[in-house]
Each structure stands twice: as structure tokens, then as C-alpha cells.
Structure 1
Amino acid sequence: MTQRAQFEPALFLGFILIFSLEIAFTLKINANLFLIGFSLIYMLWQSVSLHKILWAFIIITPLAFGTWCSFWFFSQGDRLFNATLYVTRLFAYVSMGAALTLTTTPKALLQNAHQRFHLSNTFVYGLIAALNLLSQVQSQLKTIQYAAALRGIKYHLWSPQLYFKALVNAGRWSEHLADAMHAHGFTEGAPRTEVPNSPWPLLQIVMLSTILILVNIIIFWS
């Protein structure tokens, strides 16, 4: 199965931020719907499962319902317009975020951002290392809960004692992580061998710029 072409993660993130700023300061429902449709089409093009897409929208539905009720009962002016505007804006933000996060990985995004925007090696590789520890953090939280249960103590997810113990362990992990990075030859501020920069993807820039132009047409001339 051939892999379908996709936008570079860092480039796509940059345009998503521009789209988000555009709709944040405008009162156009059509622009919100256009970005929702674009995000859905892109996710389907990238073969993102419908299950994941639906869950992204289901999770945000209670917040959308609360937003609708707030503007319907307490806003001034056209209540239906205000409620629809802010609910569609919320779904536009969620759909654009899902279009990015469900089609790439944090590691790919950080590495691409490092290549394109020259982010610090320390920042990029430190974040990648921290993300790789997430599974161990989840396992450690369960271990702390089991150990407490043996003593007749029950730690819930909102118990501060649970996270205090996890932070103590995280302090030890940070030292081990620093030692491991130094063992692999990572030195802060030192020059590193870099992958040669590839040319900017002009076709992707043209496509995303076209979407941006269409959004502005909807905003200012619809």
C-alpha cells in the first residue's frame, strides 16, 4: 500500500495557527464550516479511521453543548447566530487540531520543526525524550496506586499524594535521562551532525496558501 502524500507537520502547524487567528477575530460561520470540511477531507485522505474522528468530536460535544447553552440563554443580540458561531468555531479548532495530531507523531513534528525553523537541539531532543517516558509515567502511577492499596490506602487520579510521589520518581528519571543523553554523545550547545535541509515543499505551500485565500474570501466577501 502506497503512503499518501501529506503536509509537512511544521508547515501544517504554522498554517493552522494562521487559520485559528483568522477565525478568532471574525464573525463568519461559513469560514468555520469551511475549515471543518477541509480538516475532515484531509483526515479521510490520510486514511484516519472514522472511529478516531468521531471520538474527537464526541469528547468535545459536552463543551460544545455548554457553549451553545451559554450563548443561547445569556448572550445579547442574535442568540442563534452567536451560539452557532462559537460552537462551529470550537469544532473548527478541534477538527484542525485532529487533522494535525491524527496524521503525524510528536516526534515527526518536533524533528520537522527543528529542520525548518531551527529549534534548539536541547529543546527538541529533550521533549522527544520526555514523550518517550510517558508510558513509564503511566506504569509508575499504577505501581504507586497498587502499592498504596496494599497498605489500605486508595489513591484516585485527583489525589495530590499520587502526583507528589510520581514527581519524586520523575526527579530520579531526569538524572538518568541526562546521563543517557551524555552517553550518546549529546552535549548542550555543541555542534551536531544535521540532516541536510531539503527544499521547502512549494506545492504544499501553494495548496495551503490557496486554502488561506479561500478562507479570507469567505470572511471578507461573503
Structure 2
Amino acid sequence: MNLKINPTVLLVTILSLGILLTFTRSVWLNLAMIIGASLYLVFNRPAFKKILLIGLFVLPLAFGTWWSFIVYGTGDTWHNAWIFSTRIYAYVWLGIALTFTNSVDELLFSLVQNIRLSATFAYGILAAFNLLNKIRRQVKIIRYAGQVRGITYHFWQPQLYFKAIIVALTWSGDLAEAMTSHGFSEGFSRSHYQTIPLPLWQWLIPIGVLALSLSFLVICQPW
């Protein structure tokens, strides 16, 4: 079963829940967010191995937060420790629910079509994502070129990234020329090869999820 929510609606829902988590202090709400995001992921069947690896990577951060509140915190240290450690996982799982079920292209094109995001801005971000592999390759070339001259560039040295930025600036002009030659005109309306529909009823999803979360906090008053 594939339960697909429009990327724009999903982004609005996750941003709303993220803001709600920031201003609430509830362990159970954090756990509810994690469970809800996990259920959405199960229905969409993403790469669960990657999700498990991310969960293991976040574990030291969550444990460090939990331990720092236990050792150095004041007041209800146990409650605070569980709040902030589970909140880390809640934020991560909400982000995974968005990024593992939608590609960058789908999210950007959905924002352009459904909430009138600037096409220039969207294509600029898309170009940056598509250039990441070329930038990684260019960094390797710069390091190899330095080694030929007897210079070793380490990843913490600004010279390495300064050279990469200079190269990327030369690409920007070529990219703009390529977009123009393919018919991209800034400020003009564009047709879309793939339309991403947004049924009006899906706007009830962020409203309903927020209403349920607030009701859970007010009525149940969870720990």
C-alpha cells in the first residue's frame, strides 16, 4: 500500500509539527511523532537500511543529550533528559519522512506548481544539488594537483574550498547559458512536463494533525 501525500502538504505538515515540538515539553508527544512518521514510512517503503543507519548515527547525540541533563541538569532532570533526547529523534524522523519519500525534484516542482514558488529559485537549488557530484570530483582533482606539486590539502584547510568555489563560479555562467538555450526565461510562466496534483482535501491533513496534537496535549496532559 502506497499512502502518498503531496510534497507541499507534507512539508507544511512537518514544519508545523516541528514548530509545535519546539514549544512543548512532552515525551509522549515526541514519541507519537516518531511513531506517526514511522507508520508513514512503512506505507511508502523507503530504504529501511539507510533509516536504521541514521538512527544509529543519531543515537550517540541523543544519549549525550540525555546524559548531560542527568548529570548536570537542575529541576526534574529525568523528565528534561527524556524530553530533549526523544525530541532529537522526533525531528530526525520527521525529516526522514519528507526526504525519504520525495526526491528534491518532486519537492521543488510541487512548490513551484502548488504555492507559486519562484521557478528561478527552484531551478537554482536544483542546479546546486545536481552539481554536488561534480564539486566532490573537483575537490579530489584539486587535492591530486596539489600532491603533484608536493602540497597536501587537508579537509579543514580553507584553501581547498576556496579553489573549489572559484571553479564553481566559472560553472555558474555556463549553467545560466545552458538554461537560457533550453528555453528558460526568468519571470515568465512555464509549462510542466510532469504535473504534481494537489487535491484540496489534503490541506486538511496539516490542520487535522495539528488539531490532534494540541488536543492530545490539552486533554491528556501527557508526561
Please say whether Structure 1 and Structure 2 have the same fold, judged by a TM-score greater than 0.5: yes
| Pick aligned residue for 1:75 from 62, 70, 73 | 73
Equivalent position of 2:20 in the other structure: 22
1:154 match: 152
Contact 1:56 1:98 in 2 (8 A): no
Q: Is the contact between residue 108 and residue 122 of structure 2 (CA under 8 Å) also seen in structure 1?
A: yes
Aligned position for 1:109: 107
Deviations 1:22-78 (A, max 9, x none): 111111111110000011111121112321111121222222122112211222111
Q: Check if 1:100 corresponds to 2:98.
A: yes
What is the SS of the residue equivalent to 1:153? coil
Counterpart secondary structure, 1:87: helix
Compared CA separation, residues 44 and 138, structure 1 to 2 (3 A): same
Count of aligned positions: 220
- What amino acid is aligned across from residue 99 of structure 1 in structure 2? A
Once residues 6 and 24 of structure 1 are traced to their aligned partners in structure 2, the CA distance between those partners, rounded to angstroms, is: 26
Pick which of 124-133 and 87-96 moved more.
124-133
What is the letter of the counterpart of residue 168 of structure 2?
A
Letter in 1 for 2:21: I
Write the distance in 2 (CA, Å) between the matches of 1:137 and 1:126. 16
Q: Do the aligned residues in 2 keep the contact of 1:30 with 1:218 (CA within 8 Å)?
A: no
Other-structure match for 2:213: 215
TM-score between both structures, scaled by the size of structure 1 = 0.91
- Same amino acid, percent of matched pairs: 40
Q: Distance in 2 between matches of 1:166 and 1:198?
A: 36
Q: CA RMSD in A?
A: 1.9
Deviations 1:131-176 (A, max 9, x none): 1111111111111111112222222222211101100100100010
Comparing 57-66 and 187-196, the one that deviates more? 187-196
Cα distance in structure 2, aligned partners of 1:208 and 1:5: 15
Per-residue CA deviations over 1:102-134 (Å, capped at 9, x if unaligned) read 111111100001111101111011111221111
Query: Following superposition, which runs of at least 4 residues in structure 1 exceed 4 angstroms of deviation?
Result: 194-199
Secondary structure of the 1:77 match is coil
Q: Which amino acid is 1:15 matched to?
A: T
Output the CA distance in 2 between the equivalents of 1:191 and 1:205.
25
SS in 2 for 1:192: coil
Does the CA contact (< 8 Å) of 2:12 and 2:206 recur in 1? no
CA distance in 2, matches of 1:123, 1:167: 20
